[in-house]
Structure 1
Amino acid sequence: MIRHWWNSQWQRLRTDYDLAIITSFCACAVFGITPFAIYRFATGNTFAGLIDLAIVALICLAVAIVWRGGNRQRTTFVLAMINTAACLVSASVLGPPGLFWMYPALLGNFLLINRVHAAIMTAFALVALTVQGKAYESSAQLAIFLVTASVSALIAFVFASRTESQRRELQELATLDSLTGMQNRRAMEQELSIAIEEYRRGNAHFGLAMLDLDHFKRINDEHGHEAGDEVLIAFAELVRQCTRKVDRCFRFGGEEFVLLMPATNDESLHHIDENLRRRVAAELSCRGAAVTVSIGAAALRPDEDWQAWLARADAALYQAKNEGRNRTVVDRAG
Structure 2
Amino acid sequence: MKPTRRDFRLDIIILLGSITGVTITVFGIYRWLSGQHALAWLDFAIVACVMLPVLYAWRTGDSARAGAALCVLNSAGTLAACLLAGHTALTWIYLVLLTNFFIANRWLAASANLVILFGVQLLPDFFHDGFHATSVAVSVLLITGFSYIFAKRTQGDRARLEKLAAIDALTGVPNRRSMERALADAVDTFQRTGRNYGLVVLDLDRFKDVNDQYGHAAGDAAIADLASILRFEMRRNDQVFRFGGEEFVALLELDNIEDLDTTTERLRKAVRASLRGPGGRITISLGAALLREHEKTWHDWFSRADAALYRAKSAGRDSYVIADDLF
TM-score for both structures, normalised by structure 1:
0.84
Residues of 1 paired with 2:292 and 2:230: CA distance? 25
Residues of 2 paired with 1:119 and 1:204: CA distance? 42
Out of 231, 234, 238, the position equivalent to 1:240 is 231
Residues of 1 paired with 2:224 and 2:116: CA distance? 52
Matched AA of 2:304: R
**CA deviations over 1:75-111 (Å, ceiling 9, x no partner):** 2222222222212222233232333322111211211
Alpha-carbon shift at residue 139 of structure 1 (Å): 3.8
**CA deviations over 1:159-211 (Å, ceiling 9, x no partner):** 32333344334434443322112232233223322333333333744322102
Write out aligned runs for 1:1-334 (5 A): 17-130=8-121, 135-136=126-127, 138-202=129-193, 204-262=195-253, 265-287=256-278, 289-304=280-295, 305-333=297-325
Q: Sort the Cα spacing of 1:83 and 1:321 in 2 relative to 1 into closer, same or farther, 3 A.
A: same
Q: Sort the Cα spacing of 1:324 and 1:82 in 2 relative to 1 into closer, same or farther, 3 A.
A: same
Identity %: 38
Matched AA of 1:213: L
What's 1:8 paired with?
Answer: none
Residues of 1 paired with 2:115 and 2:258: CA distance? 54
Q: Sort the Cα spacing of 1:105 and 1:265 in 2 relative to 1 into closer, same or farther, 3 A.
A: farther
* Alignment size in residue pairs: 322
Alpha-carbon shift at residue 255 of structure 1 (Å): 0.7
Q: Secondary structure at the match of 2:325?
A: coil
**CA deviations over 1:306-328 (Å, ceiling 9, x no partner):** 11110011122223333443334
Matched AA of 1:329: V
8 Å CA contact 1:98, 1:135 repeated in 2? no
Q: Secondary structure at the match of 1:260?
A: strand
Q: Secondary structure at the match of 1:183?
A: coil
8 Å CA contact 1:210, 1:256 repeated in 2? yes
8 Å CA contact 1:99, 1:135 repeated in 2? no
What's 1:7 paired with?
Answer: none
Q: Sort the Cα spacing of 1:201 and 1:54 in 2 relative to 1 into closer, same or farther, 3 A.
A: farther
Structure 2: 5+ residue runs without aligned partners? none
Q: Sort the Cα spacing of 1:287 and 1:161 in 2 relative to 1 into closer, same or farther, 3 A.
A: same
Q: Sort the Cα spacing of 1:90 and 1:257 in 2 relative to 1 into closer, same or farther, 3 A.
A: same
Alpha-carbon shift at residue 227 of structure 1 (Å): 0.8
Residues of 1 paired with 2:114 and 2:194: CA distance? 38
Structure 1: 5+ residue runs without aligned partners? 1-11
8 Å CA contact 1:195, 1:206 repeated in 2? yes
Alpha-carbon shift at residue 138 of structure 1 (Å): 4.0
Alpha-carbon shift at residue 54 of structure 1 (Å): 1.4
